[in-house]
Amino acid sequence: MVISFINLKGGVGKTTLLVSVAEILSSVHNKRVLVIDLDPQTNATVLLISQKSWQKANDNNNTIYQLFLDKIQGT
């Protein structure tokens, strides 16, 4: 299943809705959820990972590819 939240206008609740739906699917329905935040503001990412993890990835100028590769390889 793929669910996407897309709207060109800012401030319409995309991030809030995304995080809420992801939480419900994960905790209530016991589904595995992958959130891919392509918004340059990275608001969903900041909400879902620790500040330390986000800062490390941001400081290293990692690409999305590198972030996924690190998780897969456990580095």
Instruction: Give the pLDDT confidence of 1-52 residue by residue, as tens digits.
Output: 999 998 888 889 999 999 999 999 999 999 999 998 888 888 898 888 877 8
Burial class (CB in 10 A: 0-12, 13-18, 19+), 44: buried
Residue 75 has pLDDT above 70, yes or no: no
What global pTM score does this model have?
0.66
Residues 12, 65: Cα–Cα separation, whole Å:
28
Confidence of residue 59 (pLDDT cuts 50, 70, 90): confident
